[in-house]
Amino acid sequence: MLNELKYKECIEACLQCMNACNVCYVSCLKEYELAMLRDCIALNRECADICAFAAQAMSRKSPYVKEICELCIKACLACAEECGKHDHEHCKECAEACRRCAEVCQEMLSHA
């Protein structure tokens, strides 16, 4: 069973990432070069939803936490890579939150 402190840390990282992705999503929609941001916008939505799902799964001690967190890591890394291609401050903040979330989720899985 995963340690409660690791769960708490990972839930917090997922919720912070979800928030950063939602801010980036809304902010990207207000930018002029929407076509250039299409992939960023789509990945923001995916990542935010997966992070929210991961946080919920961990909070209820789902038996599928390992698989859900693996998916969360994958989504976060993809979103961080895409956001990292853009110079907007909201993209930079999102990329950082995504990388942090992936790192914390990986650490949690390593201690499982």
What digits encode the pLDDT tens for the residues 47-105? 999 999 999 999 999 999 999 999 999 999 999 999 999 999 999 999 999 999 999 99
> Would the pLDDT of 31 be above 70?
yes
Of 16-25, 26-35, 58-67, which has the strongest mean pLDDT? 16-25
The alpha carbons of the chain give a radius of gyration, in whole angstroms, of 14
What gap in Å lies between CA 109 and CA 90, rounded to an integer?
Answer: 28
Do 107 and 73 meet the contact criterion of CB atoms below 8 Å apart?
Answer: no
CATH architecture for residues 4-110:
Up-down Bundle (1.20)
